[in-house]
Amino acid sequence: MTEQILEVDGLKKHFPVNEGWIASMMRAVAGGEQDVVHAVDGVSFELQEGETLGLAGESGCGKTTTGMSLVKLHDPTDGEIRYRGTSLEEMSGEELDGFRQNAQMIFQDPFESLNPRMTVYDTIAEPLRIHDIGNETARVKRALEFAELQPAEQYFDDYPHELSGGQRQRLAIARALVLDPDFIVADEPVSMLDVSLRAGVLSLLERMTDEFGLSVVYISHDLSLLRHMCDRIAIMYMGRIVEIGDTEDVISNPQHPYTKSLIDAVPVPDPTADRDRVELSGEVGDAVEVPTGCRFRGRCPSIIPPDGIEIDQAAFREISSFRYRLEDGTIDPASIREDLDGDRSDTAAFKRKLREKHFTHELAGANEATVDDALETLASGDTEAALETLADRFATVCERDDPAAEPRVEIPDDRGVACHLYEPETPAETTATGEDAAPADD
Ligand code: SF4
């Protein structure tokens, strides 16, 4: 039975917004709370010995911050990371030193992560010296040879700038391996490399995982790479995991609308091939004023209309997007009024302008009456009342401001999907179909 190496439980990492000293003083005088960026906001997963897990998502989704927290380069704002059962927060002395030897990170940019004033030899020997580990030359040589920088002695006196990009990343890998770690976080390990060099470094990483029996968390936006390298994959969106599971299972049968859209964005060899593409619209939401409920709701192509309302999905999406953008200030009624030719108090012109810009689908009955009523209220200058009118009819379960009702991925969860649309198969159903009746590794 494999042993659990890492348990991440409700990890949060928030960073204060850089507001400048005048704003900061004014806020302090007014007694207000400082705004924070919710970089990681409740992430939970486990990592077993020898397992490779991919963290995927668009830039800014929190995957690098999560990775840095796993090797204690960031301390959590909340939640806990346990390494072999012990909380990183509680570690000190020898235990912490042992963790620092066992947990290593390979960074995206080898040029930035290596000290330009250190030779290749010193770069690899430095961690040995920090941890007071002997047999230095033999260990440096072995690490370099493993990374295929050989004959090793020929590289000893080189500086990072004298190496190619691929060689620099090999040096970074050798440095990470010299302490015989059991756990590595590799953050976009080949994204800065020339395409021609990537395959070589990837096969080195694979060999590293196999020969050292390492547990590895790969961070990448490249799903094809993660499919190739990882046993399991976790998809992140706005600081949270929205889907996690066996890599093949998630990629061939995605359940979360965000995962589906990411997979649809992966280029296929035949661009004319028929695919049911899910197009993503809109921008990633605000990481300071995070939306209530599901954070993907502003872009979700499958957002769920309230019970009892008859409405076309696309039309509902349009209304929801209008509401959310009005709420977060991306739609500014005052500037629309200023753009009106002629009379700024012309309600009909104001409504026409908003409809032209934000509503392309036909509405009918109570849906149309509600939108019209809200636009009329907006024209009178009362945004709050307009939002209330829209919310009374169109508020969805996807935005419910109730942490207990939010769809979340929790541990232990072999296949977690943070979406109200997801209905996990019950054991009875699974057995009935007979598909998964046998153990997974049979
Ligand atoms: S919970 Fe709602 S908004 Fe979120 S992904 Fe599912 S359907 Fe879309």
Tokens 């756990």 -> residue: 183
C-alpha of residue 93 to centroid of ligand 1, in Å: 45
Q: What is the pLDDT of residue 413?
A: 60
Q: How many CB atoms lie within 10 A of CB 371?
A: 25
Query: pLDDT tens, 295-319?
Result: 999 999 999 999 989 999 999 999 9
Query: Which sequence spans correspond to the domains of the chain?
Result: 4-263, 313-395
Q: Whose CA is nearest to atom 7 of ligand 1?
A: 303
| CA 65 / ligand 1 centre spacing (Å) | 24
pLDDT at 109: 87
Fold of 4-263: Rossmann fold (3.40.50)
Task: Give residue 162's pLDDT.
Answer: 94
296 Cα–ligand 1 center, Å: 6
Q: Which residue lies with its CA nearest to atom 5 of ligand 1?
A: 419
Which atom of ligand 1 is nearest to 301's Cα? 8
Residues having CB within 6 Å of any atom of ligand 1: 256-257, 294, 296-297, 300, 302-304, 398, 407, 419-421
Residue 277: predicted pLDDT: 57
Ligand 1 center–CA 298 separation, angstroms? 9
Measured from the Cβ of residue 134, the count of other Cβ atoms closer than 10 Å reads 7
Ligand 1 center to residue 367 CA distance, Å? 21
Q: Is the pLDDT of residue 281 over 90?
A: no
Residue that has been written with the tokens 């299972």 in this structure: 249
For ligand 1, mutation pick of 255, 258, 324, 398 (most atoms within 8 Å of CB): 398
Q: What is the mean pLDDT of residues 333-356?
A: 81
- pLDDT of residue 282 exceeding 80, the answer is no
Distance between CA atoms of residues 70 and 82, nearest Å: 9
* Mean per-residue pLDDT, 403-410: 66
pLDDT number for residue 427:
57
Q: Give the dihedral sign, CA 130/157/153/113.
A: positive
Distance 256 CA to ligand 1 centre (A): 8
Predicted structure pTM score: 0.88
pLDDT digits over 93-138, tens only?
999 999 999 999 999 988 788 999 999 999 999 999 999 999 999 9
Q: Indicate which residue's Cα is closest to atom 6 of ligand 1.
A: 419
pLDDT, average across residues 264-290: 68
**Nearest atom of ligand 1 to the alpha carbon of 398:** 2
Higher pLDDT, 68 or 269: 68
Distance CA 331, CA 215 (A): 46
Pocket perturbation via mutation, ligand 1, pick of 262, 278, 284, 300 by most ligand atoms within 8 A of CB:
300
Average pLDDT over residues 370-375: 95
What mean pLDDT do residues 213-217 have? 95
Tell me how far apart the alpha carbons of residues 14 and 53 are, in angstroms, rounded to a whole number: 23
What DSSP line would sit under 309-374, residue for residue?
Answer: ----HHHHHHHHHHHHHHHTTSS-HHHHHHH-SS-TT-HHHHHHHHHHHH--S---HHHHHHHHHH
Q: What integer best gives the mean pLDDT of the chain?
A: 88
Query: Residue 278's closest CA among 263, 289, 297, 294?
Result: 263
At residue 224, the 3 state secondary structure works out as helix
Ligand 1 centre distance from Cα of residue 399 (Å): 9
Ligand 1 centroid to Cα of residue 405, in Å, is 12
pLDDT at position 438 is: 35
Q: Is the pLDDT of residue 437 over 60?
A: no
> Relative to the CA of 295, which ligand 1 atom is closest?
4
Task: Give the pLDDT score at 274.
Answer: 55
> Looking at residue 35, what is its pLDDT?
85
The three-state secondary structure class of 263 is: helix
CB 51 within 8 Å of CB 231: yes
Are the beta carbons of 51 and 2 closer than 8 angstroms? yes
State percent of the chain over pLDDT 90: 68
pLDDT at residue 435 in the model: 37
Give the lowest-confidence range in 32-41, 154-163, 356-365.
32-41
* Per-residue pLDDT tens over the stretch 130-187: 999 999 999 999 999 999 999 999 999 999 999 999 999 999 999 999 999 999 999 9
Quote the pLDDT of residue 345.
72
pLDDT digit string, tens, across residues 43-62: 999 999 999 999 999 989 99
